[in-house]
Homo-oligomer: A and B are copies of this chain.
Amino acid sequence: MNLQSVFDYTSPYAYLANTRLPGLDHPVEYLPVDILFVMKQIGNQPSPACPPKARYSGIDAARWAALYQVPFAPNRALFQAMREGRLDNALLVRLAVAAQQAGVFETLHPALFAAVWAGSDDLASTQGREAFLRNLELDADLWQLADSPHVRERLAANNALAIERGVFGVPTFFCDDEMFFGNDRLDFVRAAIAQSKGA
């Protein structure tokens, strides 16, 4: 069975779910998408548009982090930079695409999720970005690759594929063609994996 994880670093629930994927004991194919672009295309509304929902999400995500026993401390400076337009929301998923192309995704991916949701790394300045990659012993040129037309085209193709398959938010998981939305559906994903192994 093919297990695909559709994600964006800007989602706390994608971060939480990502911490559980190694425990599934099944290979995962990762599809980075620009979820704000996807939601806009299909008429879905992001949580920040509804203040009571956004407030609750923060509390709820912290509850899941406690349950999973993983750190949860949103990188406030990073989100501030995104809100102020100093950082393109999609840059981080483009970095993931670049890392896939450079063959260093396994190193980058969990570290980047942790930097966004459980760290204070400076990802808004050029210096900070280079330091982030240096600490992972990755080539700083990955940021340039993330800005290349080739990576931008690949992300656009990922977004289009996600929309075609019915994605309206992240994290979304596909077990072959069965779709599961949300960190809170990992039990269903686990059951689908178990069923595929029993069959």
Contact = CB atoms under 8 A, between A and B. Distances in A.
B50 A44 contact: yes
A51 interface: yes
Nearest to A180: B60
B63 A188 contact: yes
Copy total for this chain: 2
Contacts of A168: 50, 52-53, 56
Contacts of A56: 166, 168, 179, 181
A42 B180 CA distance: 28
A55 interface: yes
A198 interface: no
A184 interface: yes
Contacts of A44: 45, 50, 52-53
A181 B167 CA distance: 22
A53 B182 CA distance: 12
A85 interface: no
A187 to B, nearest CB: 9
A23 interface: no
B43 A49 contact: yes
Interface in A175-199: 179-182, 184-185, 188
A180 B63 CA distance: 10
B52 A166 contact: yes
22 contacts: A42-B51, A43-B49, A43-B51, A44-B50, A44-B52, A44-B53, A45-B45, A45-B49, A45-B50, A50-B168, A52-B166, A52-B167, A52-B168, A53-B168, A55-B166, A56-B168, A59-B179, A60-B180, A60-B181, A60-B185, A182-B184, A184-B185
Interface of A: 42-45, 49-53, 55-56, 59-60, 63, 163, 166-169, 179-182, 184-185, 188
